[in-house]
Amino acid sequence: MNNKLETISNLFDGKEIRSIWDSEKEEYYFSVVDIIDVLAEPKEPRKYWNDLKRKLQNEGSELSEKIGQLKMKSLKDGKMYNTDTLDTVGIFRLIESIPSPKAEPFKVWLANLGSEKIDEVFDPSKGIDQMIDFYLKKGYTLEWIEARIKAIIDRKKLTKVWKDGGITEQKEYAILTNEIYKEWSGMTASEYKSYKEIRKENLRDNMSRLEVILTDLGEAATEELAKEHKPKGLEANKKIAKLGGHAAKSARDDLEKNLGRTVITSNNNLNYRYIDDNKKIENK
């Protein structure tokens, strides 16, 4: 894989696009001027961007509201300057606003993505087939994929039960999920990701089959316990989530006793790794 961030891999002909990783939001932010420079190739990228930004603001574009400023090291003098940035979604929307021949392939690609989503509305199985094909191309086994799909379904069942118990905020779902993780693995989701040295990547996509199964067991147990005890509110649901996680921990302890080794691994399924604080990556 090329030494570029996977979120925009192979898009910019190997030219450097400065980026910053926000570990709290689990999101990358990219330099807008760098992308303007590559796609539009203007004589003065900053002036080009200022004119485009003004145009977007005058048109009332929501994109202009998404622009943030972060300090980035200049490619010219190495000093740190406030730089306009956008997240991955914002960058794709920016590409759609750039009248440049080099931007056209990206616009076609984005249009095709939209077309695929429309097709899935009429035939949902297409989305499932694409997901399976994607995992197979990444090197996952059919057994792993089967466990992963089952875990996705069980997760949907659990969040429905939580909603019935008065859980509506995303942060509450995250808190309850962490209760399950902490109980069976000893780590929160973010700590687990750090242990596996991943960032924006999906944690469960970087688990072994056994880790996926244990996570699923914790959530399935929590779902059954919640249906039985009908907890209301966050605190009551936290107690149930901990009990569900404990069911997975008991299974883990028994399995590890017989295996003679831990089932939690720092291995991930990436074909690249992060090598420094500048968010560079390299092939494994």
Q: Residue 125 falls within a domain, yes or no? A: no
Structural domain for 169, as ranges: 141-268
85 with 152, same domain: the answer is: no
85 with 165, same domain: the answer is: no
Q: Residue 131 falls within a domain, yes or no? A: no
- What average pLDDT does this structure show over 250-265? 97
Q: How confident is the model at residue 225 (pLDDT cuts 50, 70, 90)?
A: very high
94 with 23, same domain: the answer is: yes
Task: Say whether pLDDT at 155 is over 80.
Answer: yes
Host H or E run for residue 37: helix 32-39
CB atoms within 10 A of CB 185: 22
- Number of domains within the chain: 2
103 with 185, same domain: the answer is: no
Per-residue CA distances from 284 to 73, 77, 135, 190, 202 (Å)? 27, 31, 19, 23, 18
147 with 244, same domain: the answer is: yes
Mean of pLDDT over the chain: 84
Q: pLDDT for 87-140, tens place per residue?
A: 877 887 888 788 777 777 666 655 565 555 556 555 666 778 888 988 998 899
Q: Residue 280 falls within a domain, yes or no? A: no
